[in-house]
A and B are shown apart, each in its own frame.
Chain A
Amino acid sequence: MSMLKTALENGEFAVTAELAPPKGTDFSRALQIAETFGDRVHAINVTDFQSSTLKASSLAMCKALIDLGLEPVLQITGRDRNRIAIQGEMLSAGFFGVKNLLALTGDHPTVGDNPGAKPVYDLDSVGILQAAKVLASGVDMSGNKLEGSPSFFLGASVTPEYDPIELQLIKMEKKIKAGARFFQTQAVYDIKTMEKFKEMTKHLNTKILVGIIPLKSAGMAKFMNKNIPGINVPDHLIDRLKNSNDPVKEGIKIAGELIVELREKNLCDGVHIMAIGAEENIPLILDEAGL
């Protein structure tokens, strides 16, 4: 049974933390960090060649986490695998005891570190969810019978600051139809964004984990505003970072405050913390958030 699913169904405030597999065969640092999360997170969300950069695979890291007694979320994008490989990855994940799966389109190879790679996109995020759902029923996408079938608590992503937002909502509904039971959002910094988004999605009866990326500097915030789709760091937060003697610490504080406010105002079902390279700070963010 997925702990993440149980937590969300019981109305607990769920916490997931994102962790990337290493670029190489040395998993020790990533696994050490994972152990520091302990039972303070419900699941560790393992990226699948995040930002199209080559790393060890998500499944290998998920297996290593399971061996440590931790619960992973396997991310699968459509970028690198066709439907044979995606379904195969799901069967393997089922064998290893992976309980949660997050379906993503995947960044295009041209934004990554092997930009000449052939993009696949045989299945989009909706198709990946459909594949997981059909495998759970005991057959593959072509209707061929399986010897044992995997069952995943399925998630997907959504961008609350997307313009036009109707287009995100239409796709979100398709993802729910295809089997998504929880969503993690692109990083949000403005409480008003979630107030609006909560209102727009209340009819969907799904679970939403708000994406939290701790800011490390005013420069990082400005860079993300300029370059990362769907991210909007308000000026007053950039000023706080600018005026701080320890912007990393200030960023952790901002993240913690945001989580507290989201929780108090009941604007989401949990949070998904993406520390992008500073995962050792995740326990500090949880301290700030009182989690």
Chain B
Amino acid sequence: MIISQNKPFEEILGFLKNSEKIVLTGCGECASACNSGGEAELIAIKAKLEDAGKQVLAFIVPETSCNYLLVRRDLKKIKESIDEADAIVSFACGDGVQTVAKQVKIPVYPGNNTLFIGEVERVGIFSEACRACGDCVLGLTGGICPVTRCAKSLLNGPCGGAKEGKCEVNPENDCAWILIYEKLKELDQVYKLTEIREPKDFSKIAYPRTLNLRNSGGGAIK
């Protein structure tokens, strides 16, 4: 899931300095799950904007704000409001904001900061688990990602910076390599740590990346 968080309200108001009539959009997927762009949040933000003297003409939570066709379908439902509005604030992830922005002729401002690809540990608690590095190493590391969970994305084992199993960068975080070692010990796969891992080939993941299943004949293993 893409984890996002509302921007400070003052920052959003800053975007809207010269805009009076506003439309709000959210997202029915990730942003709803992390309380940054569901219906309840949009209702609350609408009230705050109105207190700040703005007119909120409409709000909508597209089924999936990162799906071009679904966003197009859902924006049509509030076409009249969009035609009248000075600006849209999108409370989705950065992808969702851009999907909305592509389809309208007025400014679309981000209401959220997009934080990370994460796991829902439990309701309201999210942790970063994947950095979309394009070359998954989990098969070598006991299902624990060093690219994400090691602050230095080290591939050949830990730096010397762990203290009592915690990371030097943030002592609330476990050292990923110690977790990996413990896990591989359980799995009887410690031998996987002994081979040198070559540096990653970043030319393979130069962004922006695209994937076209129509050209590649589908996404699954043949």
Tell me the A residues contacting B by CB distance below 8 Å.
78-79, 83, 105-108, 110-111, 119, 121-127, 130, 141, 157-159, 162-164, 166-168, 170-171, 173-174, 177-178, 186, 227-230
Contact = CB atoms under 8 A, between A and B. Distances in A.
Contact of B156 (A83, A166, A174): A174
B220 to A, nearest CB: 32
B181 A111 contact: no
A106 to B, nearest CB: 8
15 contacts: A105-B159, A107-B168, A108-B161, A111-B169, A119-B151, A124-B152, A124-B155, A125-B156, A141-B199, A157-B160, A170-B157, A171-B158, A174-B156, A174-B194, A229-B163
Contacts of A159: 160
Contacts, number: 89
Interface residues of B, number: 29
Interface in B165-193: 165, 168-169, 177-178, 181, 190, 193
B196 interface: yes
Contacts of B153: 121
A162 B193 CA distance: 17
B58 interface: no
B152 A173 contact: no
Contact of B181 (A105, A119, A164): A164
Given A124-B199, A162-B160, A178-B196, 11 more contacts: A105-B152, A108-B161, A124-B152, A126-B156, A126-B197, A130-B196, A167-B157, A168-B158, A174-B196, A227-B163, A228-B163
Given A110-B169, A162-B162, A229-B168, A127 B199 contact: yes
B202 interface: yes
Nearest to A126: B156
Contacts of A167: 157-158, 177-178, 181, 193
Q: Is the interface of B mostly helix, strand, loop or mixed?
A: loop
A108 B155 contact: no
B165 to A, nearest CB: 8
Contacts of B160: 105, 157-159, 162, 168, 186, 229-230
Contact of A122 (B161, B163, B196, B202): B202
A132 to B, nearest CB: 13
B7 to A, nearest CB: 19
B154 interface: yes
A108 B168 contact: yes
Contacts of B200: 122
Contacts of B178: 164, 167
- The 8 tightest CB contacts between A and B, nearest first, are A171-B157, A105-B159, A229-B163, A126-B156, A159-B160, A121-B152, A108-B169, A127-B199
A155 B196 CA distance: 17
Given A111-B168, A119-B152, A177-B196, A166 B181 contact: yes
A170 B199 contact: no
Interface in B112-162: 151-162
B187 to A, nearest CB: 15
Contacts of B163: 227-230
A134 to B, nearest CB: 11
Given A167-B181, A229-B161, A229-B162, A124 B156 contact: yes
A214 B153 CA distance: 33
B194 to A, nearest CB: 6
Given A108-B161, A162-B160, A164-B178, A83 B199 contact: yes
A229 B190 CA distance: 24
Interface centre among B151, B153, B157, B193, by most chain A C-beta atoms within 10 angstroms, is B157
A79 B153 CA distance: 11
Contacts of B193: 167, 170
A68 to B, nearest CB: 31
